[in-house]
């Protein structure tokens, strides 16, 4: 649990009261491979901290294909903000790729922290700003680079994920088919 507190040391460290307030509101859960913590149609109830393991968040198109929006591994936060905030059914799935351990805080408890300890407003503002920056860069790349280039920059940016994820999942993240990724990998290897 202390790991979740330490996370904030990167931003504005918490004092003892704030630590206590946060810790007492986090619930630990163990999640199996392929288990969902959010399914399309359900309303998202939690902000989730990943202690151990790895998750993917994705949407499904009309023909049933999955499209990965992001991966979240150790010591990072994940939620469907749209569904959590607007309290409407999610369009997304969040699914464990590995056996995982998470800490969850409910929307109500999070709102309690926001109201009573302003530092959480600050810290979660900065967290989401960082995630916004990531998304913005990803969208720009999607428009301005080839699949080959996007794969190379994925390898650079997430070297630790490369060996943990099947290529099918990476392909879905890059917005291409596994077959085409295979072609790209073959090209890279022969050079």
Interface with DNA, residue 33, by CB under 7 A: yes
Q: Does 153 bind DNA (CB under 7 A)?
A: no
- Residue in 72, 18, 12 with CA at minimum distance from that of residue 48: 72
CB of 128 to a second copy, least distance (A): 6
Within positions 93 to 152, which residues make up the interface with DNA, using CB under 7 A? 146-148
Nearest to 137 by CA among 155, 157, 123, 122: 157
Least distance between a second copy and beta carbon 105 (Å): 16
Query: Which of 55, 59, 78 is CA-nearest to residue 68?
Result: 59
- Of the pair 51, 68, the CB lying nearest a second copy is at 68
The nearer residue to DNA, 24 or 163, going by C-beta atoms, is 163
Contact status: 186 vs DNA (CB under 7 A): yes
How many angstroms separate the CA atoms of 104 and 55, rounded? 14
Minimum CB distance to a second copy, residue 60 (Å): 8
Q: Based on CB atoms, which residue is closest to DNA, 4 or 97?
A: 97
Query: Coil, strand or helix: which one is 34?
Result: coil
Find tokens 């009309």 and name the residue.
62
Burial class for 176, CB neighbours closer than 10 Å (0-12, 13-18, 19+) = middle
Describe the strand order of the beta sheet including 66-73 as a list of residue ranges: 36-38, 92-96, 54-60, 66-73
The answer to whether residue 166 forms part of the interface with DNA (CB under 7 A) is yes
Query: What is the spatial distance between Cα 73 and Cα 79, in angstroms, rounded to a whole number?
Result: 13
Work out how close the CB of 115 gets to a second copy at its nearest, in angstroms, rounded to a whole number.
9
Nearer to DNA, 5 or 176 (CB): 176
Q: Does 168 bind DNA (CB under 7 A)?
A: yes
Residues that bind a second copy (CB under 8 A): 59, 61-62, 65, 67, 69, 81-82, 85-86, 91, 114, 118, 121-122, 124-125, 128-129, 131-133, 135-140, 142-145, 175
Angle at 53 between CA 49 and CA 54, to 5 degrees: 80
Residues of the shown chain interacting with DNA in the complex, contacts defined by CB under 7 A: 33-34, 63, 65, 146-148, 166-169, 175-183, 185-186
């Amino acid at each position: 649990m202390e790991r979740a507190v330490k996370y904030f040391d990167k931003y504005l460290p918490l004092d003892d009261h704030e630590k206590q307030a946060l810790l007492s509101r986090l619930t630990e859960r163990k999640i199996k491979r392929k288990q969902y913590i959010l399914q399309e149609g359900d309303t998202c109830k939690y902000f989730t901290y990943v202690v151990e393991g790895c998750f993917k968040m994705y949407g499904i198109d009309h023909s049933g294909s999955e499209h990965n929006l992001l991966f979240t591994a150790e010591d990072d936060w994940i939620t469907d903000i749209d569904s959590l905030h607007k309290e409407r059914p999610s369009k997304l799935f969040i699914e464990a790729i590995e056996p995982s351990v998470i800490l969850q805080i409910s929307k109500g408890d999070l709102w309690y922290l926001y109201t009573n300890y302003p530092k959480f407003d600050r810290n979660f503002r900065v967290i989401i700003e960082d995630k916004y920056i990531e998304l913005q860069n990803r969208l720009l790349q999607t428009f301005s680079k080839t699949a080959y280039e996007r794969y190379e920059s994925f390898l650079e940016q997430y070297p630790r994920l490369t060996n943990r994820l099947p290529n099918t999942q990476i392909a879905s993240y890059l917005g291409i088919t596994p077959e085409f990724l295979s072609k790209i990998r073959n090209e890279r290897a022969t050079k």
